[in-house]
Amino acid sequence: MQGRSVWGSKVGFLLAAVGSAVGLGNVWRFSYVSYQNGGGAFLVPYLVAMLTAGIPLMILEYGLGHREKASPPLAFARVHHLWEPFGWWMPIVAFFGINLFYAVVIGWCFNYFLLALNLGWGAETGVFFEEHFLQVSSGPFEFVGIRWPIFAGALLTWVLCWLICFKEIRHGIEKASLLFMPVLLVMTIILVAWSLQLEGATDAVWNHYLRFEWSKISLLTAEGRSVWIAAYGQIFFTLSLGFGIMITYASYLPKKSDITSNAIITCLIDCSYSIFAGLAVFGTIGYMAQTKGVAFEEAITAGPGLAFVVYPEAINQLPAGNRLFGALFFLVLIIAGISSAISLTEAFTCSVCDKFKFERKKTVSVLCVLGMAGSIIFTTHAGLYILDIVDHFVNAYALILGGILECILVGWLMKAPKMRKHIFAVSGRKVWPLWDIAICFITPVMLMLILLGALYREFGEAYGGYPVGALLLFGGGTLVLSRFGAFILSHVPWPYQKRTHAHTPEEETLLT
Ligand code: PFF
């Protein structure tokens, strides 16, 4: 039997993991969430969430992938034979729940990159985005037809995903990450430096982005508690935890690997990137608010509106170089997005290959074609509604449940000290026993609170004011179908003894 692929270098693995974590969400989701939740004071719960949930869970995912040398279904099945369906659920949701629409949003970015070159979005950026670009229909069931420019953008994304994932891990994802991540960093630095010298930018950064409102994070008030919950949710999303992606990536690590350091470095880079990129977002919007003479609060909005409406509007107002600035911004989004999309594709590809022993190239090809076919619904005139609904349900439930399941599996079924022992054995670094507490108690409790909060809100009012039928069909449907798919796949018998760990001589090498 051929041995499992291995990363060519420690840096290659690290950059691929960072590439998965740093995505569309870092550039504008973090900025908006932090602004909404106390500005600078949000950094406190955010960093606490990183320390108490982000890093412990990253260590867990790296440890599990590395120990079992397996994708999530196989890793879960090895820890407890009844848990294979949960192991399937995560990569299925990652692929069918997120990647299908994630590719379409990257497709929007490709379009906006081209539009930036001649400021083709015009003066009324909001009207352009909804009425000319998306041509949004009147409701989630009014598909009308396909928006071909968006279709073309999504197709380009899938082709790129296919080209990168088609090759063996060290020649595909690793090489792409070694190129993408430094380029992304340099472009982000240029963007931030450019934004900060704009008039009104530093004012917006100090008074809105980094403004400390301590009262907002008090655990004594309901509002303060919701800020803490938002921080845990953001950490989870930004670090790509709960989808088995990091389990998959770590399964390609050599036998001797420094799990703890890698986990800490991944978290630190991702979180610092978010905070850093936020400077560009706030700086540019601050400039626009000043030129238009409106209050900052009026200029900023959440979700896609921030990147595709507010940002283009700000770009219009720039004194010079607006085309270049706009193109740079959307290129940053494209690169950040693609490096996350390939990780979503890889997690499912690896799971299928592990179970069925299919050839990687054929599997990736079939999955990318299926992926593009599935993305089509998001390229219709109703795409924005469906995307919003699926995104909401996947983030609010699947991702959080994935994290809780991982904590139960490793913390309680495998027993946390056993994992700590493994990590010590392969890296020579001790993990603090405090980690057990984080995995067995703090993280699952916080995640359960988030889940309960989401459920409470769900039953209180229909999300986004959508018809309940649409929420059930697109949101509930994604969750139920993926769970059903997981059930079916886990009932196919393994074609070989699943307890075999295949080590090649290469895997025994210690990468430093
Ligand atoms: N971490 C990515 C971001 O911040 O945009 C999003 C993401 C990618 C979430 C992959 C989950 C995932 F599995």
Each residue of 442-476: pLDDT tens digit?
Answer: 999 989 988 998 898 889 889 989 999 999 999 99
Q: How far is the CA of 311 from the centre of ligand 1 (A)?
A: 21
Query: What pLDDT does 2 receive?
Result: 60
pLDDT at 91: 96
Q: Could you give the CA distance from residue 214 to residue 151 in angstroms, rounded to a whole number?
A: 45
Distance between CA atoms of residues 168 and 442, nearest Å: 38
- Which pLDDT belongs to residue 41? 84
pLDDT band at 222 (very low <50, low <70, confident <90, very high): confident
The CA 144 to ligand 1 mean position distance, Å, reads 30
For residue 220, the model assigns a pLDDT of 80
Q: Is 358 exposed, middle or buried (0-12, 13-18, 19+ CB in 10 A)?
A: middle
pLDDT band, residue 499 (cuts 50/70/90) = low
The upper half-sphere exposure of residue 458, i.e. CA atoms within 13 Å in the direction of its Cβ, equals 16
Pocket probe for ligand 1: among 58, 92, 98, 181, the residue whose CB has the most ligand atoms within 8 Å is: 98
Distance 241 CA to ligand 1 centre (A): 8
Task: Find the 49 Cα to ligand 1 centroid distance in Å.
Answer: 17
- φ/ψ of 7, rounded to 5, equals -60, 150
pTM: 0.93
In this structure, are residues 208 and 22 in contact, taking their beta carbons and an 8 Å threshold? no
Closest ligand 1 atom, CA of 30? 4
Please say if the pLDDT value at position 241 is more than 60. yes
Distance of CA 188 to the CA centre of its chain: 18
Taking each helix axis from N to C terminus, what angle separates 322-356 and 173-196, rounded to the nearest 10 degrees? 150
Q: pLDDT tens for residues 25-83?
A: 898 788 878 887 878 888 999 999 999 999 999 999 999 999 999 999 999 999 999 99
Distance 108 CA to ligand 1 centre (A): 17
Asked if the model's pLDDT at residue 350 lies above 90, the reply is yes
φ, ψ of residue 2 in degrees (nearest 5):
-70, 140
Contact assessment for residue 341 and residue 176, using Cβ atoms and an 8 Å cutoff: no
Q: How confident is the model at residue 115 (pLDDT cuts 50, 70, 90)?
A: very high
Q: How far apart are CA 299 and CA 487, in angstroms?
A: 46
Atom 10, ligand 1: residue with shortest CA distance: 240
Are 435 and 424 within 8 A, CB to CB?
no
| Mean pLDDT score of the chain | 91
Ligand 1 atom closest to the CA of 347, numbered from 1? 13
User: pLDDT value at position 502?
Assistant: 45
The string of pLDDT tens digits covering residues 379-433 is: 999 999 999 999 889 988 998 899 999 999 999 999 999 999 999 999 988 899 9
Residue 36, classified by CB atoms within 10 Å of its CB into exposed (0-12), middle (13-18) or buried (19+), is middle
Give the span between the Cα atoms of 127 and 134, in whole angstroms.
10
Q: 32, 161, 237, 247: which to mutate for ligand 1, most atoms within 8 A of CB?
A: 237
- Give the chain's length: 512
Q: pLDDT band at residue 497, thresholds of 50, 70 and 90?
A: low
Ligand 1 atom closest to Cα of residue 23: 5
Residue 131 confidence (pLDDT) above 90: yes
pLDDT at position 313 over 70: yes
Q: Whose CA is nearest to atom 2 of ligand 1?
A: 23
Across 189-198, 215-224, 274-283, least confident range: 215-224
Query: What tokens does 434 get?
Result: 């405090």
CA of 21 to the centre of ligand 1 (A): 6
pLDDT of residue 1: 47
Please give the number of the atom of ligand 1 that sits closest to the Cα of 343.
Answer: 10
Enumerate residues lining ligand 1, CB below 6 A. Answer: 20-21, 23-26, 94, 98, 237-238, 240, 243, 245, 340, 343-344
Distance 383 CA to ligand 1 centre (A): 20
CA of 238 to the centre of ligand 1 (A): 6
How open is the CA angle 214-218-222, to the nearest 5 degrees?
A: 130
Amino acid 178: pLDDT: 98
Cα(496) to centroid(ligand 1), Å:
32
Spatial separation of the C-alpha atoms in residues 280 and 187, rounded to whole Å:
11
The atom of ligand 1 lying closest to the CA of 21 is 1
